[in-house]
Chain A
Amino acid sequence: MCGAFDWKISSFFREGDLEMAEKKEHESKGEAVQPRIGVYVCQCGLNIAGSVDCEEVAKFASTLPDVVLAQYNRYTCSDQGQAGIKNDIKEHKLNRVVVASCSPRLHEPTFRKACEEAGLNKYLFEMANIREQCSWVHLYDRASATEKAKDLVKMAVAKARLLKPAVEIEVPITRKALVIGGGVAGIQAALDLADTGYKVFLVEKEPSIGGMMARIDKTFPTMDCSICILAPKMSDVGHHPNIELLANSEVTEVRGYIGNFHVKVNKKPRYVTKDCSACGECAKVCSIVVPNEFDVGLAIRHAIYTPFAQAVPATYLIDMNSCLNKNGVIVCDKCMKACERKAIQYEMQPETVELEVGTIIVATGADVFDPSTLPNYGYGKYPNVITSLEFERLINAGGPSGGRLLRPSDGEIPKRVAFIQCVGSRSDRNGRLYCSNVCCMNTIKDSLLIKEHWPETEIYVFYIDIRAYGKGFEDLYKRARKEGVVFIRGLPSEIKENRKTRDLWLAGENTLCQELYRMNFDLVVLSVGLESRKDSEVIQRLLTLSRNQDGFFLEAHPKLRPVDAATGGVFFAGCAEAPKDIKDSVTQASAAAARAGILMAKGKITVEAITPIVFPDKCKACGLCTKVCPYNAITLNKDLKRIEIAEAACGGCGTCAAECPFGALTQGHFTDDQIVSEIDAVTEHDADKKVVAFCCNWCSYAGADFAGVSRMQYPPNVRIIRTMCSGRVAPKFVERAFARGVAAVLVAGCHLGDCHYINANYQTQKRVERLWKKMEQSGLCKERLQLFWASAAEGERFASKIREMKTLVESVKPEEIEKAKKVFEKALGGA
């Protein structure tokens, strides 16, 4: 705030009897109170006053219905400005406040707070955006900008007259958390929450927690023994009084919403009770031999087994797929006879555990890329081509070879080892487009591990780029080069095997020296990338999450809410969100635990009062709204023939209200009649020269604001109506605009797939397509209805779209407008 403050340069009072109004208010107690609107036109220094005649706008506002006070001032958002509003609310008994200033995305909370402090419900406040969407984009056309500002104020006043006070409901939050996935991220999140004092259910699909980290030998860059640092945490989880570990279990159903999730977990039987002391006598007598999945098949296990020595829970289990005792026939009871503690029960059944939790942390991890899809590397065909995960098991002292790096073909220790980077990463042809983040450092660590045990080994690393970006990573990279590891830029195009010796030939181009190479190796390690879990769509469906094009779960905001899901009360940790190393997984897990903890510490959340309002008498229980709701917040009660809304689960997009064909649903604070009143205000004069634009709050409205901030000039004939989501735009709004003779309508939303409300803008698309069809059938030019996707950063795109619309508006003939008026005549009724 700078400069002198000219408070109340001028006020325009309307002939209105304060006492009368007061009387009325008392009579009806808030019901149908005559609105008394105060309009404040902000000059914003010269930001607005520079190209809009604020005095004229204020004068115009004072002529609008129900406006009892209209004034303009230099900075309405300043403390004095707010104090003035508060004072007027009391003095002039204002029951609606309209501020015409900057974007509601900027200062709506400020003014709402001021209203609340003066005892006015914050939902009785409305803003007209005459800075970002008027003065800044029409810098050199004062007359048109002033006209547009008047229109915008008129729209805001029209809406304000219909505003209703609303109370934000409070939803209690169950102080229990569910963590899905027991890798290092899930373990860390569960421990953090449990230590904070919340009850945690940790669900793990595998028989033991530990995940990928348990299989790795050493961690980079410090070369700590992986299982040595993980095992204490695993055992903490097993013993923690606040953690209930559900291993060998899968989440099958999630119902409810933030704070109140009902979760069903299918607990698969272990066939071994908790009495098991993990002595291992049973496995000794089991005659079934199958490859051990934990060792990637490099070691064997029996049908009764424990995945690895440090497993938590430590009890053994029977793999019924390989055990002989299937279908209730007990063929072999050797393990039962060998078990001294009588812990084996062949007849154990799967059970369904029902949980009530308030928050959910998704830590489902990632899969490893399968290189057998790349025929040029011969994985699966040549025994001495292995993946980095198999390498980890081979070099691990607890692994199948006792830490001796053996060639699978002959069990000899290799003299020449090659690492091939980016197998399944950074390629649109072979695998995935993204960088998997961990493989470069993993390879450097692996090469050092070999050098540590067998310093004479010659090691070559074939790479595209080495990405050693983290703390201590570059040092490790340097160390590897010092130790004699050779780095060659250029991936081999092919691997060929010598059938006799099983040695491997690598051929390719060294792109730094621009020469071809052909080298012989004893062992080739494919540094495989990470990819999203094959079954992640199950979790996606259960929790209504979204995934990016790479298949990983999408966070609510990439910068500022990186661990939150778009669905309330759900958080991400670890590789489920994107490939990351152990440190980042643990960091994110603690962050997710903290975010979940915030919710549970409060014990309740308030829900913005923009949730649907139902008119039960109009509802035909058709269930259309339940289908379009992105949050599954609406359920159809077939017995009572009505719908039920879980306010806390509702995201507030309003697409249900747009879908309802009977007008039985509307969105709070964005009601049908409020939006219609805005349309009517726009179309009162010169409708045939105007464009009505419906913009969603998060992307296209923000994009329009960005165009303003960047001072991108566009024609002043557009009037923007803000909705929370483009999915709120009901066909009847568009129809009404045309029926009132508007030249063109623009429906703008977030890009498909980027919707702030998961997928609500797909409904927008469907509805616009339906309208296009209708327009075509009635012989109207469908160009007059435009659908446009713009992100918050695409100000220039927005501006050029409006410029494009200007030429469109000019091409629309009066006959066409008249025709549209007739076609959509019906839309004028009701409202």
Chain B
Amino acid sequence: MPERIKHAPLDIKKVKPPKAEIHLIKNQCKGCGYCIEFCPKKVLEESEEINARGVHPPKIVDEDKCILCSFCSVVCPDFAIFVLEKKQEETKK
């Protein structure tokens, strides 16, 4: 349907997308960058810091953008990243 959308959806506030909690095990990361590359929402990027394995582990840019697809933990060869859903009480804060 070709109509132009000019107004914000009225029920946008009613939708409560689940909030994510991204856990990085920085010293386990070997800096392959798969998680950064494959994240559909571009939540991660390479950090400046150097970990125990002498590489740059990823850092979280915007945790709110994460939609909990967990693709990062699927592609991580070193099991260095996983995502949990934040509990409802926590999001309400």
Chain A residues whose CB sits within 8 angstroms of the CB of B6 once the complex forms:
297, 372, 379-380
Q: 1/0 per position for A156-183, CB-CB distance to B under 8 A?
A: 0000000000000000000000000000
Known: A206-B1, A370-B4. Contact between A406 and B9, CB under 8 A?
no
Closest to A300 in B: B9
Closest to B71 in A: A331
Most chain A beta-carbon neighbours within 10 Å: one of B1, B8, B11, B38:
B1
Q: Do the beta carbons of A293 and B67 come within 8 Å of each other?
A: no
Q: Do the beta carbons of A287 and B7 come within 8 Å of each other?
A: no
Chain A residues whose CB sits within 8 angstroms of the CB of B40 once the complex forms:
324, 331-332
Known: A324-B40, A331-B69, A332-B69. Contact between A372 and B4, CB under 8 A?
yes
Q: Do the beta carbons of A386 and B5 come within 8 Å of each other?
A: no
CA distance A614 to B2 in the complex (A): 47
Q: 1/0 per position for A292-336, CB-CB distance to B under 8 A?
A: 111111111000000000000000000000001000010110100
Q: Do the beta carbons of A298 and B71 come within 8 Å of each other?
A: no
Q: Do the beta carbons of A298 and B2 come within 8 Å of each other?
A: no
Known: A288-B67, A289-B15, A331-B40. Contact between A401 and B5, CB under 8 A?
no
Number of B interface residues at 8 Å Cβ cutoff, please give it. Answer: 21
Chain B residues whose CB sits within 8 angstroms of the CB of A638 once the complex forms:
none
Question: B12: which of A296, A300, A331 is its contact (CB, 8 Å)?
Answer: A300
Q: Do the beta carbons of A287 and B67 come within 8 Å of each other?
A: yes
Question: A297: which of B5, B18, B67 is its contact (CB, 8 Å)?
Answer: B5
Question: B7: which of A289, A297, A324, A331 is its contact (CB, 8 Å)?
Answer: A297
Chain B residues whose CB sits within 8 angstroms of the CB of A818 once the complex forms:
none
CA distance A294 to B5 in the complex (A): 10
CA distance A383 to B17 in the complex (A): 25
CA distance A306 to B15 in the complex (A): 17
Q: Do the beta carbons of B71 and A386 come within 8 Å of each other?
A: no
Closest to B70 in A: A332
Q: Do the beta carbons of A298 and B18 come within 8 Å of each other?
A: no
Most chain A beta-carbon neighbours within 10 Å: one of B3, B12, B69:
B3
Cβ-based interface call for B68 (8 A): yes
Interface positions, chain B 39-86, Cβ under 8 Å from A, are 40, 67-69, 71
Q: 1/0 per position for B1-42, CB-CB distance to A under 8 A?
A: 111111111111001011000000000000000000010100
Known: A331-B69, A331-B71. Contact between A294 and B11, CB under 8 A?
no
Question: A299: which of B4, B9, B17, B71 is its contact (CB, 8 Å)?
Answer: B9
Q: Do the beta carbons of A298 and B3 come within 8 Å of each other?
A: no
Q: Give the tally of cross-chain contacts (CB within 8 A).
A: 75
Closest to B41 in A: A324
Closest to B67 in A: A287
Cβ-based interface call for A812 (8 A): no
Cβ-based interface call for A256 (8 A): no
Q: Do the beta carbons of A408 and B38 come within 8 Å of each other?
A: no
Contact residues on A (Cβ < 8 Å of other chain), bracket: 35 or more
CA distance A400 to B6 in the complex (A): 15
CA distance A363 to B80 in the complex (A): 57
Q: Distance in Å from the Cβ of B45 to the closest Cβ of chain A?
A: 18
Interface positions, chain A 384-400, Cβ under 8 Å from B, are 386, 389-390, 400
CA distance A296 to B2 in the complex (A): 9
Closest to B18 in A: A287
Q: Do the beta carbons of A408 and B10 come within 8 Å of each other?
A: yes
Cβ-based interface call for A534 (8 A): yes
Interface positions, chain A 344-384, Cβ under 8 Å from B, are 367-368, 370, 372, 379-380, 383
CA distance A294 to B1 in the complex (A): 7
Most chain A beta-carbon neighbours within 10 Å: one of B8, B18, B38:
B8
Chain B residues whose CB sits within 8 angstroms of the CB of A293 once the complex forms:
1, 3, 5
Q: Distance in Å from the Cβ of B22 to the closest Cβ of chain A?
A: 15
Known: A331-B71, A534-B2. Contact between A386 and B9, CB under 8 A?
no
Q: Distance in Å from the Cβ of B82 to the closest Cβ of chain A?
A: 16
Chain B residues whose CB sits within 8 angstroms of the CB of A294 once the complex forms:
1
Question: B10: which of A299, A368, A534 is its contact (CB, 8 Å)?
Answer: A299
Closest to B75 in A: A331
Q: Do the beta carbons of B67 and A298 come within 8 Å of each other?
A: no
Known: A300-B11, A331-B38, A408-B10. Contact between A287 and B68, CB under 8 A?
yes
Closest to B12 in A: A300
Cβ-based interface call for A291 (8 A): yes
Closest to A296 in B: B3
Q: Do the beta carbons of B68 and A299 come within 8 Å of each other?
A: no
Question: A298: which of B1, B9, B15, B17 is its contact (CB, 8 Å)?
Answer: B9
Cβ-based interface call for A411 (8 A): yes
Q: Do the beta carbons of A300 and B5 come within 8 Å of each other?
A: no
Chain A residues whose CB sits within 8 angstroms of the CB of B15 once the complex forms:
289, 300
Closest to A298 in B: B10
Mark B residues whose CB is within 8 Å of A: 1-12, 15, 17-18, 38, 40, 67-69, 71
9 extra interface residue pairs, beta carbon distance < 8 Å, beyond A372-B4, A408-B7: A289-B17, A293-B1, A298-B7, A324-B69, A332-B69, A368-B3, A370-B3, A389-B3, A400-B9
Which 8 residue pairs across A and B have the least CB separation, nearest first? A297-B5, A287-B67, A332-B69, A293-B1, A324-B40, A380-B6, A331-B71, A300-B9
22 contacts between A and B (CB under 8 A): A289-B15, A293-B1, A296-B3, A296-B7, A297-B3, A297-B7, A297-B8, A298-B10, A299-B10, A299-B11, A300-B9, A300-B12, A324-B40, A370-B3, A372-B6, A380-B4, A383-B7, A400-B9, A400-B10, A400-B11, A408-B8, A534-B2
